[in-house]
Amino acid sequence: MASLKEIIKIEYQKCASDPIHFMKKYCYIQHPVRGKIPFHLFQFQERTLTEFDKERYNIVLKSRQTGISTLVAGFSLWKMLFNSDYNILIIATKQEVAKNLVTKVRYMNDNLPSWLKQTAIEDNKLSLRYSNGSQIKATSAAGDAGRSEALSLLVFDEAAFIDNIEEIWVSAQSTLSTGGNAIILSTPNGVGNFFHKTWVGAEDETNSFNTIRLHWSVHPERDQAWRDEQEVLLGPKGAAQECDCDFVSSGDTVIEPQLLQFYKESYCQEPLEKTGFDGNLWKWQYPNYNKSYMIVADVARGDGGDYSACHVIDIELAEQVAEYKGKLDTKDFGNFLVALATEYNNALLVVENANIGWAVIQQIIDRDYKNLFYMSKDLKYVDVEHQMTNKYRREEKGMVAGFSTTSKTRPLIISKLDDYFREKSVTVRSTRLIDELFTFIWNGNRAEAMKGYNDDLVMSFSIGLWVRDTALRLRQEGIDLTKRALGGIGQATYGTPVYGGNKMENDPWTQKINGEDEDLTWLIR
């Protein structure tokens, strides 16, 4: 007959080799109603635990109330007990959320039998360190989270709701380089964000993550009646997010995600060429010299955090024919816009004039580009009816070069963007633009990019659609928005786009600046 010491040794080895056995037999959890109860794992939890142990990187798309956070706590404790110097970091949207997981680890350890339990040599609300050197820390997704010492396991809790998670993940790569593991878990929060892109990449096998999908129906104690109750409590959209693991129906995008998905599948296509010194000028159509175009530009703030962007739009068809998104200084971007506008039939050039947009506009004016958009300086008057009382000349008092995005004009252009998409009256070719729209959300009453993402293409395109709509309506009244007419909108004969090289006397990419020829072809080569 084996001694108690031998029995404990065998059981210890069994626990060390099998996290399911360890958790089912020895772990207790704090139930909100029933108090202290054994952690009886469901089959889907056992499968998940097995994958946590087998795969280095795991991403979990989960329904609410599946007990996965508790499972991660149990897995973390198992790793800490049976490995020396095992270092775990929990990152969540808020410190309280991350702390909750550490609390679960502490509770499980405190309720283990003495021969399994580790002694804590450091113990506070946000961290726990055992005598074998293993530790777990909790932090919010702020500051330099993930940039500390080498990690054995990095856990992102509710990853889809962490604003700067992409930056944190990039920073964490060096801390995981010695073979550390990662678990990213969340309910969905729209599409286009880091969590969604990582999930899609894992499904497409373009990254190294293992996917674990936990739909509400995997839970043996959930039935359709429970799902119906959740829809009453959360609403259809909330239930789709919290229960169904539905990316498309979740989130709060300005444009309905189903519509964006339709555009991406039906209209987006690879450009005919990706040109420019940085490869970021995408062209889907070359200039058709019977057509009228506008170019709408949004200028980077200059702090390196965003991009200068522009679209070339076929005015008559409301079709995107070219696009640029990159980082040029103001002088180069101004020269780039003049050359591009000249190439596209002296296109109407609309430049957002906030921040350093003025520097780009001044560069355009200094180049004596004629077809530049002006609007009313008095921002109380942005409606079409008032604009029709003005002669849109540079010299006109109260007029200002460029488009002014303000608290008054911003809702107008966003509304126009929504109108065009809902009515499917615009043709979008760019996946870059659609991807930005997937992360362009309502933050309260303000439409803007999710934190950590950009909306440069979205805002410039929105301005373009508003100006196009306004321009066409004014044109019907015989009024110009610029010192020059829009080039005969409604008068041209539209056929198959024709491009036979530059049909202009001078190459727009070689221009006189200060009386001397300057080669701008480096911007497009």
For residues 279 and 224, membership in a common domain is answered with: no
Determine the average pLDDT of the residues in 40-62: 95
For residues 9 and 148, membership in a common domain is answered with: yes
Asked if residue 262 belongs to a domain, the reply is no
Asked if residue 42 belongs to a domain, the reply is yes
Q: How many domains does the chain have?
A: 2
For residues 231 and 327, membership in a common domain is answered with: no
pLDDT in tens, 469-492: 876 665 555 545 444 434 443 333
pLDDT score at 508: 75
Which of 242, 259, 294 delimits the end of a domain?
242
pLDDT in tens, 342-354: 999 999 999 998 8
For residues 305 and 215, membership in a common domain is answered with: no
Asked if residue 195 belongs to a domain, the reply is yes
pTM of the predicted model, to two decimals?
Answer: 0.67
pLDDT in tens, 84-113: 999 999 999 888 888 899 999 999 999 999
pLDDT score at 98: 84
For residues 191 and 287, membership in a common domain is answered with: no
**Which residues, other chains included, contact 203 with Cβ-Cβ below 8 Å and sequence gap of 6+?**
211
For residues 133 and 12, membership in a common domain is answered with: yes
pLDDT at 219 over 70: yes
Give all strands (DSSP E) within 238-373, no chain letters. Answer: 273-275, 281-283, 293-298, 308-314, 319-326, 348-351
For residues 162 and 309, membership in a common domain is answered with: no
Asked if residue 253 belongs to a domain, the reply is no
Model confidence at 397, in pLDDT bands (50, 70, 90)? low
**What's the CATH code of the domain at 82?**
3.40.50.300
Q: Kindly write down the DSSP assignment for every residue of 100-167, as one continuous string.
A: HHHHHHHHHHHTS-TTTPPPEEEEETTEEEETTS-EEEEEES-TTTT-SS--SEEEEESGGG-TTHHH
**What's the CATH code of the domain at 414?**
3.30.420.240
Q: Shortest CA distance to 392 belongs to which of 485, 253, 268, 506?
A: 485
- Domain of residue 228, residue span: 4-242
- Indicate the range of 220-224, 311-315, 381-385 predicted with least confidence: 381-385
Asked if residue 118 belongs to a domain, the reply is yes
pLDDT score at 398: 62
Asked if residue 438 belongs to a domain, the reply is no
